[in-house]
Amino acid sequence: MGEAPRRRGRAMPTPGRRQRREPLHPGAWWLWSLGLGTAATRTTNPLLLTLLIAAAGYVVATHRSAAPWSRSYTAFARLAAAVLLIRLAFTVVLGSPIPGTHTLFTLPEVPLPHWAQGIRLGGEVTAEALLFSGYNGLRLAALLICVGAANALASPARLLKSLPGALYEAGVAVVVALTFAPHLIADVQRLRAARRLRGRPDRGVRGLLQVGLPVLEGALERSVALAAAMDARGYGRTAEVPASVRRTTSALTLGGLLGVCAGTYGLLTAEGGTYGLPVLCAGVAAALAGLRLGGRRASRTRYRPEPWGVRAWLVAGSGAAVAALLTLASVRDPGALNPGVVPLVAPSLPLWPAAAVLLALLPSFVVPKDPKAPRDPKEPS
């Protein structure tokens, strides 16, 4: 008999070869975004803050998935823009303590009683006051966008699996809240679109009430279903631990939190600079030990624990490096990172702090893109 003809086609995969890359640990995304948020709090330079926002937005645009929770970045960006506009509006209406000589326009001033001294309604609006409020509002907006980047990149369900056992209950509450928020937004958009198709108003007080009631009803039904599912899976079970372990856990956790508060206060004051860092480190160590012991009460197992590999270290390290370098720059050159508005001068872009901010783009090079992410419809297949 002759040999059977060989089948031409794609080669069979090797059993020992890994077929797909492991996803990045969600905690790495959160550490990266918290590092960027810490860096944003160290400067009011609008050029650096804009560069930080652009870096976070680029990483989100290239690496977020098609999951519903990844769409929350748009809501955070809108919230950041609203915060900036509200801060500027308050400055225009209520004034600012920043003196200025460049008057942009003057509003009619409303006289207030004597007990409201220090507050004014209307009056002169100067460029110095608007710039001061804009710098601080942009810093808060950058912080919100960094938090939104973490929500768009890190899966809440996978993050819950990585939490310590002592924080499992609190983590469930936070994850449920973060997961339900995009569903509520999607329900509101769906109901408003349905009312527009039927020719009914979807704006104003009447439209808000007629849309809000079905959304509230759906949220309650979803909550009841989630509670029933959690109860059926035995959520809330605790293991029996000795009384001495419980007392030690409480003492370590409480003492650690007090140490963190005292150490942070020492770092923020000039007199406590010598003892602030040791007390803070001791408090963090005690709190971590308390969380470690507290995890014994959570009787649950982890199915396929999240791996923490080299890419996770690189992503988390890039955020920490941006925070450390901008903190160092704020100490060495505070004038460049916090430009003044009196006298009125244009902010300049410091070179090496700007290069430090560019380290936030490292995840876009070391983390592979999600193959399930939505593609541009114009892109050829």
Residue range 316-365, pLDDT digits in tens = 999 999 988 998 888 888 888 888 888 888 888 888 899 999 999 999 88
pLDDT, mean of residues 93-103: 80
Predicted local confidence at residue 24, as pLDDT: 82
Is 39 a residue whose pLDDT tops 80? Answer: yes
Predicted confidence (pLDDT) at residue 22 exceeds the cutoff of 70: no
Q: What is the pLDDT of residue 296?
A: 64
Of 303, 290, 306, 210, the residue nearest 247 (C-alpha): 290
- State pLDDT tens for residues 124-148: 888 888 898 899 999 999 999 999 9
| Mean pLDDT of the residues in the chain | 77
The SS3 call for residue 298 is: strand
CA 210 – CA 221 distance, rounded (Å): 18
Between residues 18 and 109, which one has the greater pLDDT? 109
Q: Given a cut of 80, is residue 302 above it in pLDDT?
A: no
Ranges of each domain in the chain: 26-191+308-364, 239-297
Q: For residue 32, is pLDDT > 80? A: yes
Whether 299 shows a pLDDT value over 70: the answer reads no
Angstrom distance (rounded) from CA 49 to CA 137: 11
Q: What's the rounded Cα separation, in Å, for the pair 359 and 118?
A: 44
Helices (H) and strands (E) in the chain, counts: 13, 2
Give me the pLDDT at residue 204, please.
67
Q: Answer whether residue 18 shows pLDDT above 50.
A: no
Residue ranges with strand state E in 149-235: none
Under a CB-based contact definition with an 8 Å cutoff, are residues 36 and 53 in contact?
no
Instruction: Please give the average per-residue pLDDT across 153-175, as a whole number.
Output: 70
pTM: 0.69
Q: What is the mean pLDDT of residues 112-131?
A: 78
C-alpha dist (Å) from residue 58 to 40, 78, 120, 318, 358: 17, 17, 42, 15, 11
Two tokens at 281?
A: 């480190």
Question: What local confidence, expressed as pLDDT, does residue 374 receive?
Answer: 45
pLDDT at 267 over 70: no
Cα 365 from Cα 368, distance rounded (Å): 8
